[in-house]
């Protein structure tokens, strides 16, 4: 089953069985408003220079994008948190694709605003072989243009669902990244970008294979 099929099945189950209709309506309203705001169109795109970042992984090790790019292209995925089942499916799919990504000479990292404790939980629950980096207060997400502010009515729903961001993230900005996937080449230029204001939709990990193949071919030329 593809990632898209898994996400669609999860959405159908969540909205048809797990969540009350009024809560589903609020989630749809928030997504529709975010899409209408044009936020995803203002995020960094292919051809833009990627912001350099130095962040800590879940164990406190400092990881620098500049250092990673010395080894090869960098695949960066922004996700919302361990509390988001759509994000967990995305991370699982990326782990399944990791050997293919690494075979093409690239490094894979995931970024979220959640604190180190919850990042470790994400890493453990999804059996990940790539690091989760702590983007404190979403500063790196903001630099990429994917960070957004949750309206008050959506904050209330998050609390009812047990996803209070002040607890998971350890700060009270009530911001999240839109789910996003980037491939950055060794010059620091974005070679691929996929940003979606609808958190239930993610690109297939295999979508980046052709981009990584091209970068590898260009590097060998």
Contact by Cβ (8 Å): 4, 205:
no
- pLDDT, residue 221, reads 64
Domain ranges of the chain: 3-220
pLDDT at residue 220 in the model: 80
Is residue 65 within 8 A of residue 182, CB to CB? The reply is no
Per-residue pLDDT in tens (0 to 9) along the chain, 221 residues: 999 999 999 999 999 999 999 999 999 999 999 999 999 999 999 999 999 999 999 999 999 999 999 999 999 999 999 999 999 999 999 999 999 999 999 999 999 999 999 999 999 999 999 999 999 999 999 999 999 999 999 999 999 999 999 999 999 999 999 999 999 999 999 999 999 999 999 999 999 999 999 999 998 86
Per-residue tokens: 162: 């047990």
DSSP line for 25-49: HHHHHHHHHHHHTTHHHHS--TTSB
| DSSP code for 200 | T
Topology given in CATH for the domain delimited by 3-220: Glutaredoxin (3.40.30)
What 3-state DSSP class applies to 163?
coil
CB 111 within 8 A of CB 135: yes
pTM check: above 0.75: yes
- Asked if 83 contacts 195 with a C-beta cutoff of 8 angstroms, the reply is no
Helices 152-160 and 21-36: angle between axes, nearest 10 degrees? 140
Strand order in the sheet with 62-64: 62-64, 54-57, 132-134, 107-112, 74-78, 180-184, 190-195
Tokens of 48: 């833009």
The CA distance from 79 to 108, in Å, is 13
Identify the helix (H) or strand (E) that includes residue 142. helix 139-144
Predicted local distance difference test score (pLDDT) of residue 219: 84
User: What's the Cα-to-Cα distance from 162 to each of 84, 155, 190, rounded to whole Å?
Assistant: 11, 11, 35
pLDDT at residue 96, rounded to an integer: 98
pLDDT at site 199: 98
With beta carbons less than 8 A apart as the criterion, state whether 182 and 50 touch: yes
């Amino acid at each position: 089953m593809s990632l898209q099929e898994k996400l669609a099945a999860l959405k159908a189950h969540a909205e048809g069985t797990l969540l009350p209709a009024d809560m589903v309506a609020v989630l749809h309203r928030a997504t529709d408003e975010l899409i209408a705001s044009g936020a995803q169109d203002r995020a960094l795109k292919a051809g833009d220079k990627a912001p350099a970042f130095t962040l800590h992984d879940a164990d406190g090790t400092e990881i620098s994008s500049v250092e990673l790019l010395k080894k090869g292209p960098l695949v960066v995925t922004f996700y919302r948190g361990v509390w988001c089942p759509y994000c967990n499916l995305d991370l699982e799919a990326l782990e399944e694709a990791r050997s293919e990504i690494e075979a093409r000479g690239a490094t894979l990292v995931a970024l979220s605003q959640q604190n180190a404790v919850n990042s470790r939980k994400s890493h453990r629950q999804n059996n990940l072989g790539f690091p989760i980096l702590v983007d404190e207060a979403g500063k790196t997400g903001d630099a990429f243009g994917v960070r957004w502010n949750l309206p008050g009515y959506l904050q209330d729903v998050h609390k009812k669902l047990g996803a209070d961001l002040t607890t998971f993230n350890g700060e009270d900005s009530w911001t999240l990244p839109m789910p996003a996937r980037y491939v950055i080449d060794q010059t620091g230029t974005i070679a691929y970008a996929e940003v979606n204001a609808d958190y239930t939709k993610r690109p297939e990990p295999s979508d980046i294979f052709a981009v990584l193949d091209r970068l590898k071919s260009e590097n060998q030329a």
